Amino acid sequence: MRMQKTIPALPVQSVKKSCEYYTKRLGFTIRHQEETFAIAVRDEIEIHLWQSCDKSWKWRSVFLVLRPIWTGAESFIAGTASCRIELQGVDELYEEYKKQGALHSPDTVVIEQYWGHREFAAVDNERNLLTFYEVM
């Protein structure tokens, strides 16, 4: 047995808006798009975007004992995920995302981690965290 690939699935409130952001700001192409699901790809990387749009929890919150939050697609989940993406050319991508305003914060820099990675953090339009790293 050998595991070979992982695909992050990130919760978003609007698949349409996230697809626009992933193409215009992060340089991905959209291989597949539906109303509540999309597949964004760039080189060998694939990210699934799924719509976290259930807002019924707002009115149910007063009745949590009787009807707990349970769908797994509640709107408050959007923007709470993260993933790490290995690449070659971390400095080039950092400069690209800096120009696009896609970094985690304005003072984000490429840092060297003691475990042997050079990395930086970016975010999508929902604030899902995307950490891009290169093995030193």
- Model confidence band, residue 76 (pLDDT cutoffs 50, 70, 90): confident
Q: What is the mean pLDDT of residues 39-52?
A: 96
Domains of the chain by start residue, with CATH: 9-135 (3.10.180.10)
- What separation, in Å, do the N-terminal and C-terminal C-alpha atoms of the chain show? 29
Q: Which of 88, 77, 82 is nearest to 134 (CA)?
A: 88
Q: Answer whether residue 50 shows pLDDT above 90.
A: yes
Give the predicted TM-score (pTM) of the model: 0.86
